[in-house]
Structure 1
Amino acid sequence: ISQVLSESSILGKLFFCFSVLMSSLSKKSAYNSPGERERHRRELSSLLDIAGVEYRFVLFRGVPVCPFPGVKRRVQTYWDSFRPRQSDVWVCAFVKSGTHWVNEIAHMLLRGSTEAPKAKEEFMLERVDCEVLQNLPSPRLMNTHLHFSQLPEQILSARKGKIIFVTRDVRDVAVSLFHHQRTRAADNLTRYDTTWQAHLDTFCKGLSQNGSWFDYIKGWHEGCLKQQPDNVLHLTYEGMLADHRGAIDSLASFLLTPEQRCRLDEAFMKRVQQLTEFEHMRQAHSGKTAIEIYRNGKTGSWRGQFSELDLFDLRARLFDPLSPEDQSLFLRYSSMTSWA
């Protein structure tokens, strides 16, 4: 009997260790099944960058999108079925520009609660099926990295809801995206672990995740910010770092009625500020996702990555070919007064 018990104990320990190992591996996997990985592979386009590394991406209406499995089918479903509401709130930004940060603040203000929100990706147009967002209670706080031209037409034509548009210095965006794409799960087909120079070349060609930064900016500026300025709040990553509380107050004024704002006392606003300080969010979210979302939280970190030649290349390819009017737009949305 004792021998049987001993063997059972050993088997139990082995099973426990195996379960822990499999659980750990599953957390690092980008896919729920081999079939999902194969379906993802079939919807990807690919190219070899200048370092000879294969870069895989998804095109929707001719522009790269966040390469989640099934994203093309999912976004098309929104075009076919999504119904906007007057109370909708959208957080819209090019990748690596502060979407997670703004989303956390907006969630707390709209709910009147400092309880930590669910992950931004659970309310992301490219990430979840249409019926999920369609069935959310009002006000729906949703987010997307889609270019203006990629948004479902009914969202654009209805002019319903409010849009929080977030921008960041293009140089910091390029650096942050470089690190972001390298840290995807090892089995993720869209992991892009290349050299900095190869990434910068892909970025300047407008083929990185989310496509051309300036095309994105100009599309939103012309199609939305100029057309319906009362429905849009423009925030910059740099401005939020410089005046965090001011950004929170701006969001509250934009999203809430005077009566709703009166119900949020100073203690609540200070708590929101405390909980959405960058370092607090980084610690709170560390290890909870396959990719570390809150990496740096600083402005000007591009200086530690760009060489003088890199800066010359970026300017020559993205800035110099633009008209004077577009150059002004470029600088404005990159929080730059001049190219220096």
Structure 2
Amino acid sequence: MEQFMKLSPEEKEKALDAIRNMKFPIYDGCMLPKLDPLMANTEKHMESVRNFESKESDILLCTFGKSGTHWVHEIASMILKGEAEYSSTGKVDVMLEIADMDKLKDLPSPRFINTHFAFRHLPKKHVENGYKIIHVSRNPKDVMVSFYHHALNDPFAACAEEDFPGTWSDYIQDMCENRHNFYGGFINYEREWEEAKKTKAVTNVHSAFYEDLKKNPVAEITRLAAFLNKDLSTQLIQEIADKCSFKNLADATISGKKGEDLIPMFSRNKKNFIFRKGTTGDWKNWFTVAQNEMFDQMLERGFEGSDLKFTYELN
């Protein structure tokens, strides 16, 4: 990052183009983003993640990409601090995909870490010892739309050489065929979590849905605070809900209230690609009837026998 910041605007664009043309790292059948530790030595970094020395006080936030990770990370951070004040550090600083694992181990407790890695790739000690995990899910159609716009602008999640994400039509066909299967693909990711919960391979986990948090933020924040063993006042929970509404959190990030917003520096359109709409049901503006039918068939096959139910629009 420091080296990148020193480059001229022309040199920065050249460096970003070079990233866009790099191929994605692959590990255990999962395509991963083009982040430095994963690009330098994928096997080594993934092994260091699996062998990370978790502590009982650690909390791990696990989501498939574009399922509200930044949002829930900010909410939980406020709960842990016991105050409705924005954190000056973002979730990227403590994200297993990109963090320096040696520096991560020296952070003070409680360490609040996050990742999109598949369940089987999580730190073994954390899972086996039953340390706290927050798992958030979102309906796959809104996830697809949100990730499409993210990948259009994020050089670490796009590949010009492979023409990914391409047009919306190209992209949704790609997703249905699971060709660019980030983190193993949505279905595999959520099925693995479902199986882990059923078989008690994971025990101390707080499960939440993006749509429930949108519809009933106070109730969901109260439930999360109880899981984190934090007794917060009704007033503070309401303040956290207000500060972490999509509009207020996006404004705080983009305006600099949470610290300097570096995302536009990497973005193709020079805007923050983390926050777009934050709504439920925007997929209806993107899926054609035929695409929706194709996607539904894919979901039906992939979730056959599953008890998972997703909410695709809010009343």
* TM alignment of 1:30-69, pairs within 5 A: 56-69=23-36
Residue 269 of structure 2 is matched in structure 1 by none
Asked if the contact 2:128/2:201 (under 8 Å) is kept, the reply is no
CA–CA distance in structure 1, aligned partners of residues 193 and 10 of structure 2:
40
Residue 176 of structure 2 is matched in structure 1 by 204
CA–CA distance in structure 1, aligned partners of residues 66 and 113 of structure 2:
17
Q: TM-score, with normalisation over the residues of structure 2?
A: 0.81
Residue 12 of structure 1 is matched in structure 2 by none
* TM alignment of 1:244-323, pairs within 5 A: 244-256=217-229, 260-261=230-231, 264-286=232-254, 288=261, 289-290=263-264, 291-320=272-301, 322-323=303-304
The structural deviation recorded for 1:188 is 7.9
User: What secondary structure sits across from 1:114 in the alignment?
Assistant: coil
* TM alignment of 1:64-143, pairs within 5 A: 64-71=31-38, 72=42, 73-80=44-51, 82-117=52-87, 118-143=89-114
CA–CA distance in structure 1, aligned partners of residues 157 and 11 of structure 2:
12
CA–CA distance in structure 2, aligned partners of residues 29 and 108 of structure 1:
38
The code of the aligned residue for 2:82 comes to G
RMSD: 2.9
The code of the aligned residue for 1:114 comes to A
Comparing 56-65 with 167-176, greater Cα deviation is found at 56-65
Aligned residues: 287
User: What secondary structure sits across from 1:286 in the alignment?
Assistant: helix
- 1:179 corresponds to which of 139, 146, 149: 149
The code of the aligned residue for 1:75 comes to M
Q: TM-score, with normalisation over the residues of structure 1?
A: 0.76
The structural deviation recorded for 1:282 is 1.3
Change (3 A) 1:83 1:231: same
Structure 1 unpaired stretches of 5+ = 1-19, 45-55
* Identity percentage of aligned residues: 28
CA–CA distance in structure 2, aligned partners of residues 23 and 190 of structure 1:
23
- Larger Rg computed on CA atoms: 1
Cα displacement string for residues 144-189 of structure 1 (whole angstroms, at most 9, x for unaligned residues): 1011122233333232x2111110111111111110000125x986
The structural deviation recorded for 1:24 is 5.3
CA–CA distance in structure 1, aligned partners of residues 244 and 174 of structure 2:
33
User: What secondary structure sits across from 1:234 in the alignment?
Assistant: strand
Asked if the contact 2:142/2:281 (under 8 Å) is kept, the reply is yes
Cα displacement string for residues 304-339 of structure 1 (whole angstroms, at most 9, x for unaligned residues): 00001001111223323653x23x43xx2x2369xx
Question: In the alignment, does 2:216 pair up with 1:243?
Answer: yes
